[in-house]
Amino acid sequence: MNMIGIIGAMEEEVELLKEKMTDTVIVEKAGMKFVKGNLKGQTAVVVRSGIGKVNAGICTQILADEFQVEAVINTGIAGSLKAEINIGDIVLSTDTMQHDVDAREFGYPLGQIPRMETLAFEADENLRKLAKEVCEEVNPDIQVFEGRVASGDQFVADKETKERIIENTQAYCTEMEGAAIGQAAYLNKIPYLVIRAISDKADDSAHVDYPTFERQAIRHTVNLVSRMMECL
């Protein structure tokens, strides 16, 4: 692949990747700094999008328009929606959907954007297979899961909200950007993958878990993405 876009919502999620880059050029647009350069032998653009679906969607569109990326990888952290998915484990997206879109009044299922042909945005199978192989190599002490990622403009930190999202989406984890990146990638016909390391259990313990485990979770995603670049 000629150009890979790598998006993290927070600076903590991309700073370690930027440190591994060489021959870098920075392009600023829409308040975001797009760092273009060589990452482990692969031409890449690494960017902090900012938190939330709007930021993530804008960021993906800029990667498509300005850099003509051939694939988008979204790396970051998420809350687990399954008991067997523990803090530090990784979820690779089979697809993504927005848990906070509600147009049921017009006959759409919960989560589907009106007048869009799909409820969920399918992630790229080849990227996911590579990510699974690589993760088992570089992060041997954690579990790797493949499943749906549910996104919404909400930090989920109570059991009631968590249970509602599970019931409505059957997702493996929840966060705030992946489905917007999935939607933009779908509209631009660009392969994409969301990689999420679990930082909390998306319940009443989330505020306690999050600061403690954030850095551990990010380290796992950095290991994974760095090795993926060598294999693409």
Closest residue by Cα to residue 9 from 149, 175, 169: 175
Q: Which of 95, 124, 177, 200 is catalytic?
A: 200
Alpha-carbon dihedral 77, 28, 63, 88, rounded to 10 degrees: -10
Among this protein's residues, is 203 annotated catalytic?
no
Q: Which of 13, 89, 95, 177 is catalytic?
A: 13
DSSP string, 122-163: EPPHHHHHHHHHHHHHH-TTS-EEEEEEEE-SS---SHHHHH
Among this protein's residues, is 13 annotated catalytic?
yes
CA 47 – CA 4 distance, rounded (Å): 11
The token pair at 62 is 């800029």
The residues facing 158 across adjacent strands are: none
Determine the length of the chain: 232
Based on its alpha-carbon atoms, the radius of gyration of the chain, rounded to whole angstroms, reads 16
Catalytic residue positions?
13, 200
